[in-house]
Every structure is written in structure tokens, then in C-alpha cells.
Chains A and B, each alone.
Chain A
């Protein structure tokens, strides 16, 4: 099918054609994908090879102080005139080894077994003694810390050699060698990124990367409520993943049911908020409507009030004896003693959380949509009007495509946000009403609230970590694809 034929298809046929081509091309694209991955891996190893070759030749060709620098970091730098910098490197090396030998090694050496369970008696001077079980959590945490520190150290080691080689080169050519003052000055100019990034990176490494690695490792252990917080637990491989997909019927059933609901929730919540929000924004921004900012402020007010306040309030209002039921009784819709179980019956609760989410989410859409609506060029509408297009046609053919084009990344972000929408579910229903056939979960539980409950209520840490990893992989893939598809990453320099 050539381009002309394709253009003449109607949208439905276009979609079918695309779908068909997707499956026809699937083997080819999969092949491409694996080839790409393979090439990347090969390139990585070739890179390492080159690096080794480079450091090898630098070692052979370098002068004596460079050679010593391969063992004692910073030595060559000191000899070549940058004394303070050299001392810093030397201090780093000493600190690293002191840390590893004095502290980290006792944990790192037990990393593969996570320590002893302390169930076998040992004999001290012929007397039987029950040893304390090792604290596996601590061993794991410090091992991960030691590994991260080691990676940083290797990086600094390489930097040390590079500086040495560069200095040697400069010396040989008789070029100027920076003094300490000049070096510090470059930190505010040519190497300003080092200054700006170092502190955030340090914080992120400690409080995001370290816990993340730690969490991934936890997913491969049997750390659950049968193993105390300060006790010993073991590696069990991919047992946890196997459990939630097939191995353990109750967990697997819960997982499937929750995945289903999480996706339903995320899709419906995102789309409903978007459509309602855009329609309201259009109404507010329509020509001839006065008090635009008043209307907008009314809606935006709900964004400003902290979410937990509005949600806790809503939970009270939707209570069996709360405001809404009182209202319904006054209006005579339900009997004097009856009530609508907004949050306490399965399907009702699902619909209620979706509606309340609409109330929470629509103002955000209004806020961002108003800005974009004002940016649509007026000429488009004018020419459409001259061609005889009515309001519906202009909306479908101009406004909607424009909005979708601009807001797709935001929509996908919102979709991901909804998958992880802890607040709405937890404050309104707490995941309930509880379902005895599910593993510690209720009917409105999302994967994340299930995870929260497993962690705080049940101490099922390894299961929680497994779910966390799966959610993360899904969200990260989705957002990476969108991020790379949107123009903003490609056209970074468009405005410069």
C-alpha cells in the first residue's frame, strides 16, 4: 500500500492497517531491538577494553610519579605541582581503605549468605552457646553502601590517573599548570556543572539510589512477617515473582485482580478528568463569557487546599451517616433510616472514588488547559469559520487535535500519577471494603496501597518490594518512551 492509498483510508481502517503492520513488523523489530541491545553491550565491553589499553599504555609511558600514582593516588599530582589537589586524592584513598577494612568488610563478607541464622549451637571453651542471629537487614544495607562507595572510589581513581596523564602532557609541552586558585575558579565557570551537581547527586545517591538497590535486593529474599526486623533472612531467588504470577494461588489471584482494577482506575480516571476538564476550560474561555477569572478561581480553590484535607473531609461526607446521606434523606430519595453505602459496598466504592477523583483532578486540567487554549492561533478558527465550519467541527478538527498534541506527555504523566494515586484511595476507602478472597487487600485497593498495607500492617516486605519493582518497571518504561517521543527532548535547543 503506498502513501496515497493510505491517506485515503478512514481513521478506523488506518488504525487496523497500523495494527496489522505492527504485527507484521514485530519479528523484524524484535530482531532489531535485540541486535541494538547486543551492540550496546558489545560497545560497553569494547569501551572497557579501550580504557584498560589506555591506562596500560599510560602506565608504561608515564614517568615515575605517574607510575606511583597507580598505587598511591594523588602522588603524581602532588609532585607535578598541584599539592592540595594531590593531598585530597590521597585522603580519599586513605579514607576509602579505612572505611572498607575498618567497617564495611565485616558486613560485605557476609553478603552472599546474609549472615548466620544462629540456629546451630557453637562451643566456646567447651560450653554450648546459642549465638545471636545476624542482622541481615544491616548486612545488606551496609553491603550496598560499600558497593556504591567502591564505585565512586573507582571513578575517582580513574580521574586521578587522567589528571596525572594530562598534567604530564602539559609539563612535557611546557604549558601552564593551574594553581589551586585557578583550579577553584574553574569550578565556577568551565566546570560549574561539577559544583552544581555534586550536592544533589550525593543526596540522591544516599536517599534514592541506595534505598532503590536495597529494595530490589529485598525482592529476592524471604524477608516477611515470619522473619523479625533485626533477625536473619535468606536469599530465595525469584520465588517472590513466581509466587505472585502463579506459585501462590491467593497472592496470584490478588495480584491479577489488583492489576486489573489499577489499570481500569488509571485509564478511566485520566480520561474522565481530561475530558471534563477540557470542556469546562473551553466554557470558561469562550468568547463573551464574563468573570473568567472568578470562575477559574472557584475551581482552582480545590487545588490549593491540601489534598488530605479535602479527602478526609470527603470521606466523612460520604460516610453512611455523613452529609450526602443526610442530604438524600432530606430530599426524600432514601428513607429516614436508610443510607447509600457510598464507600462500604464494592461497586459503589469504585464508582465513588472515580467521581471524587474527578472532583480532585479536573481543576488541574482546567489550570493547564486554559493556558494552552489561549495559545491556539486565532487565525485557525477564523479561516475555519469562513469555510463554514460550525462550533462542533471546529472543536473536533482544531481544538481537540491541538490540545491532544500539546498535552499528550502531560496526559501520560497523569496516567502514571493515577497508577500511583495513593491519596485518593487510601484516605477515602483505605482500600476497602475488604475482600476475604484477596491477600490482605480490598476491592478498591491499587497496587500501591496494597504495597503500603503490606509494608506497614503486615511486614510482608519482600512481597511489597516485588510489587514495587513491577510497578516501577512499568512506569519507567512508559515514561521513557513518551519522554523520548516528545519534541522537547529532541528540540532542546529550539529556542536558543
Chain B
């Protein structure tokens, strides 16, 4: 009896292993192909071979040495994106944490109404209003530059308070009360007690707001119409696979994608624990 149970379990486990492995292969394959193509020495875009016939490191080297400021300027794009990401990360993280702490811990008049208004506003996909934003930034003289991008990415960040508010709600309130009795102001409670206790959500917020600008396409496209030297990675790479450029730049596109993807992936995998805690910390309460 026990033997047959063990056998059955082993069989079912083996089947699961097989299925999982196949699925993993499916999920990983495009990424592997990306890396492979980035090292490919074949000059053509659409190769007839599944695995490149010759290997080279040239695509990476060319990306940084063969710079054509009017067409492709990868190092510059990378730097631009990095600057935008750093600035908007700092501003967004601060506003998100400030807003969510306020909504979670402080009690003031018409708090509920303000939360609801913020919630509705946060529902609005920002790019629906892109014409208005474009015009607004044009008046301020911020189009065609990365400063405008920083503003766009970080201005509305405060509305993304839902997840971190959910997390702050779970931090026991007794801590606040104890600190208040000891004479701490709310300012001190926020910086010295709540934030250190909420490491997962802080890391999660920093991570999401740092990676956001790397991935955004819409606003970058809208604001940086033809300023090639102000482009961010996303629209630069998009430009490289445009009909006009794809024949000469496809392999460099792959190389460029790998360069962007590797640090972000590494960062993400390292912070994965925090990511899961951040997401579920807010959601488990349902």
C-alpha cells in the first residue's frame, strides 16, 4: 500500500518536473535567442539558421565605438536614461511613501474623501492626457529634453499609494503609540520607526520607480520627438528596429537590449524577495 502510494507520488512528481522544465524552456527561449543573436556574426537580420553560424563580440563593441550622433548614440541614451531614472526614482519614492504614510497613519478631516479622489485619479492612465501634458511642458520649455521626462515620470507618482498604504496598515499601531508616549513627533515616527520597519515596501517602491523610466516608451516618444541625443533607451532601441535602420542595426539592437536587461534583471532577482513581500503585503489582506 505504502509502496504504491510512493510510486504514484513519484510518477506524478516526474510528470510535473517534465512539464515545468518544458514550460521553463518556453519562457527562457526568447531570452536565450536574444543573447545568442547579440553575439551573432551573421550580417543579416533574418537568418535562416536557428543558431548563428559564427560568433563575435563586435556588436557590443560597435555599440560604444561607432557612434553616429544623428542616428544612433547608445552610450548617450544609456546615460540619459540613467539620469532620468535616478532623479525620478528619488522624487517618486519620496512622494509615494509620504502620501501612503499620511493616508495610513494620520487622521485628519475628510481623509476618506481625499483617499477616494486620489484613488480615482490614480486609475487614470497618464498617457490619455498626453496632448495636454505635451502642451503644458511646451509652455514651460521642457519638451525635447530629459528634464521634462523627469517631471512627467515623477509628478503623478504620489497617486500610486495603494500598495504601500496597504503595507503600512499592517505595521502595528502600538509602535506609534509607544513612541508618542515617549515624546516622539509624527515626523520622527515616520523616519525613525515606520520606514525602518517597512524595508520590503521601501525597496519595492525604489525598485519599481527606478525601473519605470527604463521601460516607458509613450512619453519619451511624445516629448523627445527628434532630439536623438536626448533619447532614452526605450525609444532609441525602438528606433534601431525601425524599418529604416533594422537592416544595419538589428544585431546591435540585441546587444543593446542585453546591456539594459542584465543589470535590471540582476537587480530584480536580488530584490525578488522584497518584491513578493511588497506585492502580497498589500494584497493578502484582500
- Chain A positions within 8 Å of B, measured between CB atoms, are 137-138, 141, 185, 188-190, 192-193, 195-197, 199-201, 203-204, 206-212, 214-215, 218, 280, 283-284, 286, 288-289, 295, 297-310, 312-317, 319, 321-323, 326-327, 329-330, 359, 362-363, 367-368, 370-372, 375, 405-410, 416, 420, 422-423, 426-427, 448, 451-452, 455-456, 461, 464-465, 468, 471-472, 475-476, 479-480, 483, 486-488, 491-496
- Which residues of chain A are within 8 angstroms of B121 by Cβ–Cβ distance? 204, 208-209, 212
Q: With A288-B13, A295-B20, A406-B284 known to touch, is A301 a contact of B28 (CB < 8 Å)?
A: yes
Query: Chain B: how many interface residues by the 8 Å CB criterion?
Result: 100
Complex Cα gap A200–B27 (Å): 39
Residue of A206, A300, A493, A495 near B155 (CB, 8 A) is: A206
Residue of A212, A362, A371, A420 near B276 (CB, 8 A) is: A371
Cβ of B53 within 8 Å of any chain A Cβ, yes or no, is: no
Can you spell out 19 A-B residue pairs with CB atoms less than 8 angstroms apart? A196-B98, A208-B121, A289-B16, A298-B27, A300-B269, A300-B272, A304-B268, A306-B234, A306-B260, A312-B238, A321-B46, A323-B50, A363-B27, A371-B280, A371-B284, A375-B280, A410-B283, A448-B128, A475-B123
Interface of A is mostly: helix
Q: Which of B221-258 contact A (CB under 8 A)?
A: 221-222, 234, 237-238, 241, 250, 253-254, 257
Cβ of B132 within 8 Å of any chain A Cβ, yes or no, is: yes
- Give the Cβ gap from A162 to chain B, nearest Cβ, in Å: 12
Complex Cα gap A311–B243 (Å): 16
Complex Cα gap A492–B275 (Å): 22
- Which residues of chain B are within 8 angstroms of A420 by Cβ–Cβ distance? 125
- Which residues of chain A are within 8 angstroms of B27 by Cβ–Cβ distance? 298-299, 301-302, 359, 362-363
- Give the Cβ gap from A298 to chain B, nearest Cβ, in Å: 4
Residue of B151, B173, B264, B276 near A306 (CB, 8 A) is: B264
Q: With A286-B16, A301-B28 known to touch, is A422 a contact of B218 (CB < 8 Å)?
A: yes
Q: Is the CB of B24 within 8 A of A295?
A: yes
Q: Is the CB of A297 within 8 A of B269?
A: yes
CB-CB nearest in chain B for A408:
B286
Q: Is the CB of A313 within 8 A of B30?
A: yes
- Give the Cβ gap from B7 to chain A, nearest Cβ, in Å: 13
Q: Is the CB of A200 within 8 A of B98?
A: yes
- Which residues of chain B are within 8 angstroms of A199 by Cβ–Cβ distance? 95, 98
Complex Cα gap A314–B37 (Å): 13
Complex Cα gap A69–B163 (Å): 43
Cβ of B56 within 8 Å of any chain A Cβ, yes or no, is: no
- Which residues of chain A are within 8 angstroms of B125 by Cβ–Cβ distance? 420, 422, 448, 471-472, 475
CB-CB nearest in chain B for A465:
B131
- Which residues of chain A are within 8 angstroms of B123 by Cβ–Cβ distance? 416, 472, 475-476, 479-480
CB-CB nearest in chain A for B98:
A196
- Which residues of chain B are within 8 angstroms of A200 by Cβ–Cβ distance? 95, 98-99, 157-158
Residue of B131, B139, B169 near A455 (CB, 8 A) is: B131
**Residue of A189, A308, A367 with most partner-chain B CB within 10 A:** A308
Complex Cα gap A228–B50 (Å): 50
Q: With A308-B237, A313-B257 known to touch, is A326 a contact of B156 (CB < 8 Å)?
A: no
Q: Which of B48-83 contact A (CB under 8 A)?
A: 48-50
Residue of B172, B268, B277 near A495 (CB, 8 A) is: B172
- Which residues of chain B are within 8 angstroms of A409 by Cβ–Cβ distance? 283, 286
Q: Is the CB of B158 within 8 A of A211?
A: no
- Which residues of chain B are within 8 angstroms of A215 by Cβ–Cβ distance? 128-129, 131-132
CB-CB nearest in chain A for B217:
A308
- Give the Cβ gap from A82 to chain B, nearest Cβ, in Å: 21
- Which residues of chain A are within 8 angstroms of B129 by Cβ–Cβ distance? 208, 211-212, 214-215, 468
Q: With A196-B98, A323-B50, A475-B123 known to touch, is A211 a contact of B133 (CB < 8 Å)?
A: yes
- Which residues of chain B are within 8 angstroms of A329 by Cβ–Cβ distance? 48
- Which residues of chain A are within 8 angstroms of B49 by Cβ–Cβ distance? 326
- Give the Cβ gap from B195 to chain A, nearest Cβ, in Å: 13
- Which residues of chain A are within 8 angstroms of B174 by Cβ–Cβ distance? 496
Complex Cα gap A330–B174 (Å): 66
- Chain B positions within 8 Å of A, measured between CB atoms, are 9, 13, 16-17, 19-20, 23-24, 26-28, 30-31, 33-34, 45-50, 95, 98-99, 101-102, 104, 106, 108, 111, 116, 118-121, 123-133, 135-136, 139, 151-152, 154-159, 166, 169-174, 185-187, 190, 211, 214-215, 217-218, 221-222, 234, 237-238, 241, 250, 253-254, 257, 260-261, 264-265, 267-269, 272, 275-277, 279-280, 283-286
- Which residues of chain B are within 8 angstroms of A359 by Cβ–Cβ distance? 26-27, 30
Q: With A193-B108, A215-B132 known to touch, is A322 a contact of B238 (CB < 8 Å)?
A: no
- Which residues of chain A are within 8 angstroms of B159 by Cβ–Cβ distance? 204, 208
Complex Cα gap A195–B277 (Å): 29
- Give the Cβ gap from A400 to chain B, nearest Cβ, in Å: 15
Q: With A284-B20, A289-B17, A301-B28 known to touch, is A316 a contact of B264 (CB < 8 Å)?
A: no
- Give the Cβ gap from A219 to chain B, nearest Cβ, in Å: 11
- Which residues of chain A are within 8 angstroms of B135 by Cβ–Cβ distance? 137, 141
CB-CB nearest in chain A for B271:
A304
Q: Is the CB of B280 within 8 A of A372?
A: yes
- Which residues of chain A are within 8 angstroms of B139 by Cβ–Cβ distance? 138, 141
Q: Is the CB of B102 within 8 A of A472?
A: no
CB-CB nearest in chain B for A483:
B119
Q: Is the CB of B275 within 8 A of A193?
A: no
- Give the Cβ gap from A249 to chain B, nearest Cβ, in Å: 25
Closest 9 CB pairs of A and B: A496-B173, A200-B158, A211-B132, A304-B268, A207-B155, A371-B280, A321-B46, A211-B129, A468-B128
Q: With A188-B187, A200-B98, A286-B16 known to touch, is A451 a contact of B166 (CB < 8 Å)?
A: no
Q: Is the CB of A375 within 8 A of B284?
A: yes
- Give the Cβ gap from A355 to chain B, nearest Cβ, in Å: 11
- Give the Cβ gap from A182 to chain B, nearest Cβ, in Å: 13
Q: With A204-B155, A289-B17 known to touch, is A304 a contact of B124 (CB < 8 Å)?
A: no
CB-CB nearest in chain B for A472:
B124
CB-CB nearest in chain B for A200:
B158
Q: Is the CB of B33 within 8 A of A323?
A: yes
- Which residues of chain A are within 8 angstroms of B158 by Cβ–Cβ distance? 200-201, 203-204
Q: Is the CB of A371 within 8 A of B279?
A: yes
- Which residues of chain A are within 8 angstroms of B45 by Cβ–Cβ distance? 316
Q: Is the CB of A309 within 8 A of B24?
A: no
Complex Cα gap A284–B47 (Å): 36
Complex Cα gap A456–B219 (Å): 11
Complex Cα gap A452–B218 (Å): 9
Q: A359-B26, A409-B286 are in contact. List 12 more A-B contacts (CB 8 A).
A: A200-B158, A201-B158, A204-B158, A208-B124, A284-B20, A299-B27, A310-B31, A326-B48, A326-B50, A362-B27, A371-B280, A451-B128
